[in-house]
Amino acid sequence: MTRLAGLLLALALAAVAAHASDPVSLGYSDQTVVIGPGPDACAGGILIHNHDGSFENAYAWQYGGQRPPYYGAFGEGYNLGRGMVWCAVCWLTRGGDYPATGDCYVWAGGFGAEPGEVLALVSGVDFDPYYWPMVTQYDVEMNLAVDGPFTVGCWGDWPGHVAAWYCAADLDGPGGHPWTCIAPGLGYPSGWRDPSIVWPAIRSMGFGAYFEQSTSVSSETWGAIKAMFRE
């Protein structure tokens, strides 16, 4: 009985440790270096994002927090009217040598309400970012027509394993509409939530888009939309 009790205690402690490490971060830094997309830069549209050009931390889910179809994903919501999302843009970093591909998404909604249906998906993207506090910008071609709010984000393909890379976050910028999709059973409200319920003080996540207005949108309206974001 003593050996059995010891085994049960060890399993319980392992479960607690795994649960505690489901959400992870790389730690605060005010010395971020952002690396551009290089030869894979998007060919069209205007770069739209909610961050201030720098990032102070980076976050990920791992182990039980990373599950299909996209539990553990992060995203950022926008409401730019009718137009084309030529590319999704992801600012990512890493803390170790754990290679993994990822899926890049555009979901409907995410501005005033949680993200909804999947509008576009590019799977198996070979994200291989620089090490923190360097952050790599990735432009992922989408060619997606939208006519309302949308959320850009990604999910890492490492269910049940340690995080391979992390999503950069802005902690002191103007603010936006950050999201993360929390798996059930982790001690947090599940589904799409503001990531600040897990990691305090997040203003926006490092996801944006190369966006081109529809010709049906007036220049005055487009000017007002651009004024909401930093380019």
The parts of the chain modelled with pLDDT lower than 50 are 1, 3-20, 217-231
Residue-wise burial string across 95-134, b where 16 or more C-beta atoms lie within 10 A, e elsewhere: beeeebebbbbbbebbbeeebeeebbebeebebebeebbe
The pLDDT score that the predictor gives to residue 130 is 96
DSSP assignments along 41-97, one per residue = ---SSEEEBSS-S--SEEEEE-GGG-BTTTBT-EEEEE---SEEEEEEEEEEEBSS-
Residue 207: φ, ψ to 5°: -135, 140
SS3 172: coil
Q: What is the pLDDT of residue 4?
A: 40
Provide the pLDDT for residue 17. Answer: 39
User: Residue 165 and residue 179: Cα distance in Å, rounded?
Assistant: 17
CATH class of 23-227: mainly beta
The model's pLDDT over 77-116, given as tens digits with 9 standing for 90+, comes to 999 999 999 999 999 999 999 999 999 999 999 999 999 9
The model's pLDDT over 193-206, given as tens digits with 9 standing for 90+, comes to 999 999 999 999 99
**What does the CA dihedral 159, 161, 164, 167 come to, rounded to 10 degrees?**
60
pLDDT for position 216: 56
Q: Which two tokens stand for residue 125?
A: 């993207």
DSSP labels, 13-51: HHHHHHHHTSEEE----S--EEE--GGG---SSEEEBSS
Are 47 and 157 contacting, i.e. CB atoms less than 8 angstroms apart?
A: no
Burial class of residue 196 in the structure, from the number of CB atoms within 10 Å of its CB (0-12 exposed, 13-18 middle, 19+ buried): middle
**What per-residue confidence (pLDDT) applies to 126?**
95
Longest Cα pair distance anywhere in the chain, in angstroms?
77
pLDDT score, position 220: 41
